[in-house]
Amino acid sequence: MTAVTWWGHAFVTVELPGAIVATDPLMARRLFHLRRVGALPAARATRADLVLISHLHHDHLHLPTLRRFDDAVPIVVPRGAVRAVRSLERMNAIEVVPGDRLTVAGVDVEVLPARHDGRRDRRPAAAVAPALGFRFANAGVTCWYPGDTGPMDFTSVAAVDLALVPIGGWGPSLGDEHLDPGQAATAVRDVGARWVVPVHHGTYWPVVLRSTGPTHDHWFASPGDRFRTAMAAQAPATRIVGTSMGVRTELTRGTMTM
């Protein structure tokens, strides 16, 4: 049916029949005040037919990583991204807004809204580009990736085979524009999915914060366990997969193998 690999943070490659889709690729040891914990993604992580970018923050639209993909690979970005990030002019960027439907590299893509500040930075004059989510499909296999978002009404999103749902951040708070583990489980329940990969957790940690203690445990170490607990209560029929970074998980309708 398909296969999925979580490379850390929000970077996932989904192998649909006939096409590989990558979400928000990030292959950086250090990003501003954040340090990656664990190994960097393998070179095969950049093998893709399509890249989806949910918003312009540097940990989701990371230019050095995008340059590692083949020049011909289309990159779907929020409208306004090319004006805000000029280097995209030299890439195969396709700008979209919520409500758009398009077929790229043989993949049907539905562009969804997200509740998140999608600007490259928070300067008042920064170019505006909407944060996005995506529902994409090929050969009858469907996937939902909401990007970074706060709680929303997700019931209008059609059920999918695979959900890639963010469950945390790097602290010391999430604010109201990210999903915590319980809110992520609610979103999966509302959409409906056969499998779910929890993302956006357990990868980067601020160098200025201690890597032990209650703060680190709550924001870095425990979101996966808290998500499993919430899923057992809210969406017990959905199977959690792909929780080990860099491990390719094959999915079929009857079985799941790794």
Q: pLDDT per residue over 31-50, tens digit each?
A: 999 999 999 999 999 999 99
What band does 1 get if pLDDT is binned at 50, 70 and 90?
Answer: low
pLDDT of 258 above 90: no
Dist. CA 210–CA 227, nearest whole Å: 23
Choose the weakest-confidence range: 69-78, 96-105, 209-218: 209-218
What pLDDT, in 10s, does the model give residues 174-184?
888 999 999 99
| Longest CA span, the chain | 52
> What pLDDT does residue 127 have?
67
> What pLDDT does residue 257 have?
35
Choose the weakest-confidence range: 93-107, 114-128, 178-192: 114-128
What pLDDT, in 10s, does the model give residues 221-255?
999 999 999 999 999 999 999 999 999 999 987 54
C-alpha 178: how far from its chain's center? Answer: 12
Q: Are 210 and 220 in contact (CB under 8 A)?
A: no
Q: Given the structure tokens 């929890």, which residue do they identify?
A: 198
Top-confidence residue, 256 or 76:
76
Please state whether beta strands 160-166 and 141-145 pair in parallel, antiparallel, or not at all (unpaired): parallel
What is the arithmetic mean of pLDDT over 125-129? 70
> What pLDDT does residue 256 have?
39
What is the arithmetic mean of pLDDT over 136-159? 97
Phi, psi of 67 (to 5 degrees): -70, -15
What pLDDT, in 10s, does the model give residues 57-77?
999 999 999 999 999 999 999
Dist. CA 69–CA 46, nearest whole Å: 5
